[in-house]
Each structure stands twice: as structure tokens, then as C-alpha cells.
Structure 1
Amino acid sequence: MKILIMESRIIIDIKNISKKASSFKLQASGFPLLVNKIALSFVLVLTSWFLNAQVTSAVDSTSIKIGEQITYRIQVETDTTSLVVFPEGQTFSPLEMIESYKVDTLKNNDKYNLIKKYGLTQFDSGAYTIPRQKVIIGSKTFFTDSLKVEVNNIAVDTTKQGLYDIKPIIKVDKTGSNWWKYVLLTLLIISIIGFLIYWFIWRKKPLSEEEQMALLPPYDRAKLALKKLDESHYLEHENLKDYYSDLTFIIRKYLDEKVYDRALESTTDELISRLTLLKEGNQVDISTEDIKNLESILKRADLVKFAKGTPDVELAKLDRNTIDIEIDHVKEALPEPTEEEKLLDIKYKEEQERKKKRKKVIITIVISLFLLIATFVGFGLNYGFSYVKDTIIGHESKELLEGDWVTSAYGFPPVTISTPKVLKRTDLPIPEEMKAQVSMTSFMYGTLLDVFSVGVTTSTYKNMGENKIDLEKSSEGSIKSMEAMGAKDIVVLRDKFVTPNGAEGLKTSGTLKAPSLTSKELKEANYVLLQFTSNNVLQQIIITSPKDDTYADEMVERILNSVELKEAEE
């Protein structure tokens, strides 16, 4: 029986060990048996330890071109109860891990085969060794084999592919923005919403028949209702119940509006009793005969509606004519409205019109507010509520960030930098004793008091000899200058800085509290100071920005990424 372990490449032959253990003899009695037992126990322990877990590693290719990816694979065979921890992070140096894939799991009887893959690459040619990788299985630690990989250059045949000089910069006309499209779209949406509000709320709609009747005086409305009753087909179909219901409603409605305001809800006896009292009180000059006629028609209508009475159709027509006459008599019996009553009626109508107009205004305001809030919420969910708020209200840093930036070179040797505004030449004061030793050019946008500012300063020192400019001392001098301008609580962090085109310098950054132009309180701000030196030249870039301002942070990042010092690089 043989057990093969790939990691350490150890082969243990149990039969040979057992044979050698049994052949080994000592003169002492019983000792050979003891040796056999010890050897067998050692083999069994070693066998079980290696059988519980096996770790192997491999790559899909040992020779790649610069930038190509190779797949590094670790395979672990273990039982189902063991916890396996694979290597994570950049543990494959000098190769770079660009992707870590998920673990593939295969079950084989009572064991698991776990396969972990990594994507590795290298951007420099040469021979590299992937170091051993540590794999933890349960409480034990295993190491994979180290592997060698060749990274080859990409061969370029210059006889077939010629080399050419860099082409000069071509000026490209600035394309116009699409702001006018957004303006037109906004105006179109506002026009559609305005039209819908006008059409459904403010437009004077044609009145329906019911609305037209409601605008008529009670007498004219009652007469028109009788004409409509004549046009109905109730009598043709001998539908006397509906006929008398409409007929009595017409006279009751007229009496309710002009004589007794509870005529619609009163019973026939109550209504007749009320009319009699009004007559006796000389409030309505209506005859006893008129009251009797109304009583007779109303009681007949009650019999038809509630007792299933069936009067003759001709009698129904007669009752209709009687009601027509009684409406005229009631109108004649009513006193003429006084000027006061007419004025009250006019005021009532004007008040109703004002209520209608007020209702339309309220509905328009509510709809407009709803649309504004819905638009704000929609854009807020899509772009962020702070961004939408700053766009509507305005934000100084946001306007600078989204404005037209300027890329220019300042000083000599030139410092190329992109800024939201052009930096203007500024004459900084130089002590009298230093004027003979240093010449300085400075370009600024804003000041420390404005919180956001950008400055580029180039200082040329004379008679330096073999002395070199100490960037850290220069940084301390700049910090003291900011303190002299009123800055307080300056936090200083220093680190190496490399521009996108490879120029190296010192970066000093941190926070400070700067005086304000508008108040006595100190405002918190961030600052970044970049310093570069070449021979006897010191180049400085200082940026100050408001603290906790995401737009300002984006501007600072954009400015730092644009810095180029070609002369300093040479």
C-alpha cells in the first residue's frame, strides 16, 4: 500500500517499513515485538495525517507575455468536517493578483475536493518565482510548492512596422453644449402641464342642462321642468307613479325656494298646514282655493305613489295644468323683493363665484406643489438629494467644478496645471535681505481667506553652490507663512508625491482653521502643499478647500491629477 503526497513529494511504503521493522531483531526477549508495534503505530499516524488532507498547486502556463494573465490553482482534498482557509491578498509577489475566483467544490465519497483559482499577471519581463502559499486546513498549516514563470517581451519587427514621431497637437473646435435641448424639453413639459391645468380646471366648460337650469330663477326653472315633463313618455306608457313623482317634485321645489324652505321634506298635511298658516299670517297672499287645489293634487299623488292608485290619464293631464296655474298664482302672491334682498342676492352670487375661483386656485397650487415635489424626489433618487438641492439653490464649489476649466503653464520652469479659473500673477512680498538671493513668480486664484484657493509659486535661488534645497524645511516655512496669515490648529501630514508624468516631490497636507471675511468665526478647511526642486529652483503648488465639501474634494483631486513638471522631470 502506497500513499503519494503531492506537496512534499514523500512516498511512504508501509510494507517496506513493516518488513524492516519485523526483520530487525534484538537479543532481549520481547523487544522485537515492541519495535514492531512502535513502527506500525508511527506508520499509521503518519498515514492518517497525510490522508486527511492533500494540497497541490499548478499554473495553466509557465510562459506568458507582458500583461497576460495566468491562472494559478490550489487544490485541496480533505474530509467534510475540516475548515479550509486559502491565501488572500497580494501574497503572490512579485506577480500581481488581479482577480480571486470563487472556490469550486467537488464531493468524492466522504471527502471534498476544493479548487481555488487566482488570476495573476506581471508587467515587466523576466523570470519570476511564485512563492509558496500557505493553506490552513483545520488546525494544521500546509504550504504549496513554489513555481517559476517566464514573462516575455512583445517582439516588434521595426522592418515591417515603422516608427514615427509624435504628431503635433491639433486644435479642435469646441462643440456646443446641448443646454438648449434641456431648455426646450423643460418648456415643453411646463406647457403640457399648464395646458392640462387650464383645460380641466380654469376653462369655462359648456354647461349641462342641469347646470343651466340651476342658473335660472325658480319660476323659470319650474316652468321649464313642466315642459320637460310634457316631453316625457310617462303617460304614453301609463307610468303614473313616475309622472306624479316628477309633477309634485316641481311644485314642492318651487315652494321650497320661494315660500317654505322645508316643502321638500314635509308631508302633504304638514305642507298644506304651513301654507294655511302663512296665508292667515298675511305672509303669502294665496287664495284658499289655490291651497285646496294643491292639497287635492298632492294627496292624489300620494295615493298613486304609495297606495297604487290609478287615476285616469286625462285627470293626470288636468293636474299638470293645475300645477302650472298654481305656480303662476304663487308667483303673483309673493311680494316683490326689496332692494336689500336683491343686493343680498347679488352678494351671494359674487361670494359663490369667489369660492369657485378660490377652489380653482387651491387645486392649481396643490397640483403644482405635487409636481415639484415629485420631480425633486425623482431626481433626488436618481442623482442624490444633495446634488439636486445644490443644483436648484446653487453651490459655489459645484459651479466651479462643473464650469469650463483652464489648463495652462505657469512660471519658469513651467508648471502645467488645470484649474477651474485662470491663475493671475501676484507679486508676493520678499524680505529686503532675501531679494538679492531669490527671485519669485507667483500665480493665484483666491486667498486663504476665501477658503478655496489655488496658487503656483516658482522660486529661483542664486549662489546656491553645492547646497541643495531642503523640501521639509521649505514645507515648514510655508506652514509658518499660513500661520502668519491667521491660520490656526494646522494639522501636518507629509508624504512622497509623484505627478502623472513622473516628477517626484513632497506632499504636505492636512486641515486648518482659517479666518473668515464675513464673520469672526474660524472656518475649517483642508490644504495640500506640493513642492518640487530641481537644482536651484523650488516649485510650490498650494490648494486650500472647504472641509466636508464633496465638490471641493473632487476639484482638488482633479487639480492634483493634472500637475505636470516637464522641465523638473528632465
Structure 2
Amino acid sequence: MKKILFIFSILCSSLSLAQMITSNLQKKMLALGETDQLIIRIKYLNGQKVSAARENELLPFHFEEIKDSIGVSEDSYERKIEFAVFEEGKFTIPELEFKVGDEIHRTPAYEIEVVNTATKEDVINDIMSNKEVDLEMADYWELYKFYILAALAVIALIIAIIIILKYGRRPKSSPKITTNLTLKELDVLKKKKYIENGDFRSFYVELIDISRRFITTQYHLPAEVLLTDDLIDAMKQNNTISPESEKIVEEVFLRGDLVKFAKTFPDETTMQKDFSDIKTVVEKSAKDIEFENLRKDV
């Protein structure tokens, strides 16, 4: 009997020392712009370090973080996030990863419904009655001068575009110019040392933005407005981009999406490789376009 009690006490003490993560969402239905709060707690740390996404970067982009506070002691970790959503619909807070020592802990996913509480039947009453006012030419000019000036500016712009299209000449080296400009942007990104500082989210956001602008200009694809999956399909239908470049862009963009939503934490080696691969795609693009032009001529 004593042995059983001894074994039972050892099991209880080991369980009490095991790390435990809990999370609590204050509300699962919100009005537009209404604030909500998510609280994550980790107990029994025993001095171990907790690693997670940086402040104000834990939740997906639909959630506007208002306040992100972290409290840490030797034995516990607490994170309180106040947020709001400014779009109607159903949104999901995915499983959030927290690394304690060498172990990964995850919170449960939450679904939030956001509704617009305003209705068409709401009556808006004027504070004062409307009054009729006689207007003169000067008054009409003050009222409509910006519209007139804007119309003249649009007409001038249309004339300028027609002149450029009719008489202007596109530079023969435009693909090389785009390549050189993009390489300069990549050099600027490299100097920010996001990779060395472990700021993987900022690194992938800027790397993908640069890549999207490059694809839009160099290959005339609407990369800046397409979702990642749609852009990948569009690239596969474009004969100018080489299969090797398509594969690189697909891998980097998909990894970047996972990083944005805090679903993966890439290491320095992965980030260095992605940067080098995108740079290679940019450097090879001018030759790909020249080869495609020669193939069309043949």
C-alpha cells in the first residue's frame, strides 16, 4: 500500500510540473469595430524561455490588434491581446504556436462572427430644417472649381498618353532596367538585416512585395492584386517564365504566407536561401525574355 501511495505521489508531482497552456476568448460574436480580448497563459515554466510571434504580429491580418501586453515571471507567461475586426463575416484565429524550451505548444483555434448592427430602418433626423439660398456665379465656381480642374487634368493626361503611345519609343533594354532596379531593392532589403535579427515576418513581407512588383513589371502579370494560388496558376500559363523560376517563386510565396499567419518560424538558413533564390530569378529574367522574343520571331 505504501508503494502505491509513493508511486501515486510521484505521478502527481510530475504532472504538476508539466507545462500547461490555456487560452480564453472573451467573445465569439462581435459588432463591427467592437473590441475583444484573447488571453493566453502558460504555467510551470521552471525558468524556461517562451518564444512566439512579436508584439502586434500574433493574429492574422483581418484582426486589428489594439493592445498586446506580455507578462513573464520565472514560472508563468501571460499574454493579453485586445483586437477589433472591421469587416463583416466569419473569421478564424488559427492555432497559435508558443515554443517553451524545446517544446511547441499550441492554442485551440477560434471562430469569430462579425456583424453589422446598423439597419436600413434606422432613421436619421436633421438637426435643422433645410433653407433655400440663391447662388451667384462666384458661388458656383467655388462649389465646382475642383471638379472643373480635375476634368481639365484628366483631359491633359489623356492627351499626354496618346502622344506617348503615338510618338514615344519603349527602350529596348527595359527588361534589363527592371532587373537592375529590382536588384537594388533587394540590396536595400539585405542591408536592413532582418535575417540576422530574426525578424522573419518583416523580411518575407518586403521580399514578397518586391517580387510582386518585379513580376508585374517584367512579365506583365497582375501579381500585385492576385492571391498567391492565382498568381502561381497565371505564371504556369505564361511561357516567358522558366519552370525553375516558377518553382522558386511558388515555394517562397507559399512560405511567406505561412509566416504572415504565424504558422511557421523559418530559420536563418531558410531565409538566406529564399533571398538568394529570388535574386537568381531576377537576374535570369532578362535572358528568359530575350529567349522568348527570339522564339516568337522564329
- TM-score of the aligned structures, taking structure 2 as reference length: 0.42
Return the structure number with greater helix share: 2
Q: Which has the higher strand share?
A: 1
